[in-house]
Amino acid sequence: MKGFQAKTLALFDRVNGILAEYDMPLTLRQVYYRLVAAHVIPNTERAYKNLSARLTDGRRAGRIDPARITDRLREAQRVPCWGDLPDFLRAVRRSYRREKWTSQPVTVEVWCEKDALAGVLQPIADEHEVTLYVGRGYSSYSAMMDAADRIADAGQRTVVLYFGDFDPSGQDMPRDIRDRLAADFGVEVDLRVIALTPEQIAEYDLPPAPTKKTDTRAAAFVAKHGDLSVELDALPPDVLQALVRNCIEGLMDLSAFAAEAEAEEEERVRLAAVIDGIDG
């Protein structure tokens, strides 16, 4: 087994401590920002690359649980298949969901700029049965068309909860979304920027980085906010999840949602009886 210097072993201990704080796997970048916030490593590209190499070594040597660090950008996908018809019917029984948002005052969607954070947001979106859309930067025309169709089909006001970086592009994307939905599709959307904000950066002492001067929006951003950019990944995952949950529930009629859930359970019982009849 590869030997490690005391400094590297101490780093592994810090990383294992960070991973133990969360009930979900973290991305390399989330671990990196926890270490930067704790002043263990500097906020530089070189430090990030060095950390990546050290944590690869640590996982290979069994010093760090490989399952606790995830790469959400590179996930394998395969069309679902079942062993036989009874297996499929059992899957149908488990997957049935009643549409509960038609009895809500608004429809809610969660939009995130960062694909790597989808795994943090998805459990909360699934819990409340809302749409999670990951933009991966500025959205394409096709993605905006799909969003316009969803908003139109909802039949009620749609509130978009937006999460993005605090940098020139991340701060401009909400404007771009509103303008393009209105200009290209005649759709007005209630888009609310939830994170990342200057107040959150100050409250959680998030580590800044110099603004990328290659961004054409950099000059206007620096003039307004100073030379301070912060990635959404720097926000602790539990804080990010709490933000999403609180914002969604703040827009919901929780009693109506609970009533729909009760109706869903009754329908599950009826569905189970039908499936048992087929399976039998």
DSSP labels, 33-96: HHHHHTTSS-SSHHHHHHHHHHHHHHHHTTSS-GGGEE-TTS--------SSHHHHHHHHHHH-
274 inside domain: no
Q: Identify whether residues 118 and 212 lie together within a single domain.
A: yes
- Residue written as tokens 């979900």? 24
137 inside domain: yes
52 inside domain: yes
- Determine contact, residues 109/128, Cβ cutoff 8 Å: no
Q: Identify whether residues 52 and 125 lie together within a single domain.
A: no
Average pLDDT over residues 240-248: 96
What is the reported pLDDT for 164? 94
pLDDT: which is higher, 278 or 189: 189
Q: Identify whether residues 117 and 244 lie together within a single domain.
A: yes
273 inside domain: no
Average pLDDT over residues 5-27: 92
What is the reported pLDDT for 24? 86
Instruction: Provide the domain count of the chain.
Output: 2
What is the reported pLDDT for 72? 66
194 inside domain: yes
Confidence of residue 117 (pLDDT cuts 50, 70, 90): confident
- Residue written as tokens 């087994």? 1
Question: What phi-psi label fits residue 178: left (phi over 0), alpha (psi between -120 and 50 degrees) or beta?
Answer: alpha
Q: Identify whether residues 24 and 142 lie together within a single domain.
A: no
Q: Identify whether residues 200 and 148 lie together within a single domain.
A: yes
Q: Identify whether residues 26 and 163 lie together within a single domain.
A: no
Confidence of residue 260 (pLDDT cuts 50, 70, 90): very high
What is the reported pLDDT for 75? 60
pLDDT digits (tens, 9 = 90+) for 152-209: 999 899 999 999 999 999 999 999 999 999 999 999 999 999 999 999 999 999 988 8
pLDDT digits (tens, 9 = 90+) for 50-75: 999 999 999 999 999 999 998 866 56
What is the reported pLDDT for 76? 62
Mean residue pLDDT of the chain comes to 90
What is the reported pLDDT for 78? 80
The domain of 15 spans 6-70
